[in-house]
Amino acid sequence: LELESYLRKALQKNEFHLCYQPLIDLSTGKTYGSEALIRWNHPKLGLVSPGEFIPLAEETGLIEEIGSWVLRTACIQNKKWQMMGSRDLTISVNVSAHQFSQPSFIQEVTNALRDSGLEPQYLTLELTESTMLRNIDYSISVMKALQKLGVRVSIDDFGTGYSSLSYLRNLPINTLKIDRSFINNLKVDTTDIAIVKAIITMGHGLSVKVVAEGVETKEQIELLKQLNCHYAQGFYIHKPLMISDFENNLLQTI
């Protein structure tokens, strides 16, 4: 396949870059961190969506190298921003199932922290429920090792998986990220608001932070504030930004 052969060469040809989408603290309105999102700009194909090439990278195993590059690059960038003055800025990195299941994963995280000089508490790894539930015992051991390192763990796309709630009290999780499908159509008097409210209440009860992703309107922000949701992310707040835009728009206000 053409796409696969292009993807094999993309790293060495420097065709990837990361965008950074701000995460805001709803109680202060300030940016406290960002999520790193990979972008692939191929000379012939143009921008290829990660929704398209990440699954291919997973199937082919190329995700090991790509994921490792993302982790290092994101840690280095965040450390740079901290040294520019945003000392408590955090970075979230998406981890795919294949990457998470590699025996070398913990070592890779350790190396990325060591080489960037980023302190572990400023790194959050975003895992989906399906990644965690592939092999729950193995996942627990990896998450405990991450916790021991001091790295934070967030459950991405929360609410879309098939998991029972019981794992929530057994797993070292710091954050629940409510899937954007519950946020997109969030309005007063909808079923979605009941679900979102329940997740936020549960988060408070479990002492985990709750992030609402996919916030697209002012009304949604107001509702989430009323519900005491901790953090939010979405196009209404900021789109994924290039480094220069992140620096111009945000860094001085943090």
Chain residues binding Na ion by CB under 5 A are: 94, 126, 156
Q: Which is nearer to ligand G, 122 or 156 (CB)?
A: 156
Query: Which C-beta is closer to ligand G: that of 37 or that of 229?
Result: 37
Instruction: Give the footprint of ligand G on residues 76-105 (CB under 6 A).
Output: 94, 96
Task: Give the residue carrying structure tokens 């997740």.
Answer: 199
- Regarding 46 and contact with ligand G (CB under 6 A), the answer is no
32: region left, alpha or beta (phi > 0 left; psi from -120 to 50 alpha): alpha
Rounded to whole angstroms, how far apart are CA atoms 31 and 158?
22
Q: Is 239 exposed, middle or buried (0-12, 13-18, 19+ CB in 10 A)?
A: exposed
CA distance 172 to 85: 30
State the nearest-atom distance from the C-beta of 85 to ligand G, in Å: 26
Q: Judged by CB under 6 A, does residue 68 bind ligand G?
A: no
Instruction: Report the distance separating Cα 34 and Cα 54, nearest Å.
Output: 20
Q: Which stretch binds ligand G (CB under 6 A): 26-34, 49-57, 164-172, 242-250?
A: 49-57
Q: 6 or 231: whose CB is closer to Na ion?
A: 231
50 binds ligand G (CB under 6 A): yes
Binding mask 106-145 for Mn ion (x = CB under 5 A): ----------------------------------------
Q: Assess 157 for contact with Mn ion (CB under 5 A).
A: yes
> Contact with ligand G (CB under 6 A): which of 23, 40, 156, 224?
156
Where does 154-242 have alpha helices with state H?
A: 166-170, 180-183, 191-206, 218-226
Q: What is the CA radius of gyration of the chain?
A: 18
Which residues would be at the binding site for Mn ion (CB under 5 A)? Answer: 156-157
